[in-house]
């Protein structure tokens, strides 16, 4: 594929840098998986991954769709840095106010939630979640703010470098202090807390500029609300399997599945690396009515994603057992799971960054409807397949719902914008 568009060349260059950061993040992420599963035990990793999934979904819910709204509004309105900061501050006030709800729910219902999963070891996990949720939400807002203002260096630093470095250090510290069980998740919570403090200092530079917000709170909420449900449900589409496996199997199976899932989704490296760079540009091009340039940028980016993702995914499929063996002999039970998940990722790569294309072109309500439907299909399939096929049933449910949501998004992009994402 010959690239003559100078903007696209820059896009590919930036995506390459982003990809390198993600490679580093991937490496340290698997180091974390190795630490917890091999040192603290696969069952402990199962508890950690289950609570991590629930807390991330909760953070996305109570971020109220504001993260994606920041990218859309800042891109569409071409806000300067002071105006963007003011919008961010407005979003933070709203999100932190609502974060009181999950804080109280998790703290006072920790015992009930652990009984729901028939696992009393989860009680301290859920209590940590209660106090950590506000910081998870703040972290999410800061990351998307960095994308919106196109400061990809800070985004990559706080997304892929510092979290895993801090987490790894605290895990090693707790291991030598002979602290196990919920301390694995406590290490993660402390890491995010420290990162949010650093983000606050860098974003506000000790003092927020005084400027009247050009965007009202009502406008921000109206823009964000459709993105709230689509973003949350997209996350749950990927992680409902973990939550339902936790309800229907034991923590060991959850741990094996989550390891296979993390390896299988390595193919998302390329997808998300390009997506991070292209998302604010899509909002900008659409706001200017430049559909021809938008089409050219999206299709070239999708081809690039497909070309780079295919060998990566095929490698995971053909060497699945060898790769899983690094995490212990019992994890080899997830070999078929890894293959199924990898195939789903390959399909996503070929479809392109379809969810953000709809979000950034004022079609977020369509995406919301698609994700609601696909999420329901995913839950039904998990409920039907997990009792019969275990972790492979969860993987099949993930694959089918993944194909469904991508096909529907491609169809509506063609219908609303007049072009396919790949061809």
- Tell me the mean pLDDT per 10 residues along the chain, length 423: 51 61 78 83 82 85 82 73 83 88 92 87 91 93 88 86 91 88 90 94 64 57 62 68 82 83 79 76 81 85 85 89 82 88 89 84 84 89 91 91 91 89 71
In this prediction, residue 254 carries a pLDDT of: 81
From its phi and psi, is residue 352 left (phi > 0), alpha (psi between -120 and 50) or beta? left
- Exposure b/e, 139-169, CB count within 10 A at least 16 = b: bbbbbbbbbbbbebebbbbbbbebbbbbbbe
In this prediction, residue 24 carries a pLDDT of: 80
The answer to whether the beta carbons of residues 321 and 332 sit under 8 Å apart is yes
From its phi and psi, is residue 208 left (phi > 0), alpha (psi between -120 and 50) or beta? beta
In this prediction, residue 15 carries a pLDDT of: 57
pTM surpassing 0.75? no
Report H helices in 210-334: 217-248, 251-264, 268-287, 291-318, 320-324
End-to-end, the C-alpha distance of the chain in Å comes to 13
Radius of gyration for the alpha carbons in the chain, expressed in angstroms and rounded? 21
């Amino acid at each position: 594929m010959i690239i003559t568009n100078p903007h696209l060349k820059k896009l590919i260059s930036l995506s390459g840098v982003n990809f390198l950061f993600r490679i580093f993040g991937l490496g340290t992420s698997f180091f974390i998986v190795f630490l917890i599963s091999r040192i603290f035990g696969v069952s402990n990793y199962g508890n950690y991954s289950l609570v991590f999934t629930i807390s991330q979904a909760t953070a996305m819910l109570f971020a109220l769709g504001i993260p994606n709204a920041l990218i859309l509004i800042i891109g569409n309105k071409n806000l300067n840095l002071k105006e963007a900061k003011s919008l961010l501050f407005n979003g933070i006030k709203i999100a932190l106010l609502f974060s009181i709800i999950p804080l109280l729910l998790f703290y006072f219902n920790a015992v009930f939630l652990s009984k729901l999963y028939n696992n009393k070891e989860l009680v301290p996990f859920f209590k940590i979640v209660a106090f950590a949720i506000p910081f998870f939400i703040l972290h999410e807002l800061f990351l998307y703010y960095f994308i919106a203002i196109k400061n990809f260096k800070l985004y990559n630093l706080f997304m892929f470098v510092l979290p895993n470095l801090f987490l790894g250090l605290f895990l090693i510290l707790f291991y030598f202090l002979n602290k196990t069980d919920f301390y694995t998740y406590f290490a993660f919570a402390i890491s995010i807390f420290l990162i949010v403090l650093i983000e606050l200092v860098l974003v506000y530079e000790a003092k927020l500029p005084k400027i009247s917000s050009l965007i009202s709170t009502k406008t921000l909420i109206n823009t964000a609300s459709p993105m709230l449900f689509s973003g949350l449900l997209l996350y749950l589409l990927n992680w409902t399997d973990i939550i339902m496996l936790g309800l229907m199997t034991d923590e060991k199976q959850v741990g094996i599945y989550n390891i296979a899932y993390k390896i299988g989704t390595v193919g998302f490296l390329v997808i998300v690396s390009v997506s991070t760079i292209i998302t604010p540009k899509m909002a900008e091009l659409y706001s200017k009515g430049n559909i021809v340039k938008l089409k050219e940028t999206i299709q070239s980016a999708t081809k690039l994603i497909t070309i780079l993702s295919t060998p990566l995914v095929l490698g995971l499929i053909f060497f699945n057992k060898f790769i899983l063996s690094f995490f212990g002999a019992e994890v080899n039970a997830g070999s078929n799971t890894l293959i199924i998940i990898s195939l789903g990722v390959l399909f996503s790569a070929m479809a392109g960054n379809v969810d953000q294309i709809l979000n950034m072109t004022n079609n977020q309500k369509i995406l919301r409807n698609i994700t609601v439907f696909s999420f329901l299909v995913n839950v039904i399939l998990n409920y039907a397949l997990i009792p019969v096929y275990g972790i492979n049933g969860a993987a099949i449910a993930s694959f089918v719902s993944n194909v469904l949501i991508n096909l529907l998004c491609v169809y509506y992009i063609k219908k609303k914008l007049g072009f396919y994402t790949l061809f």
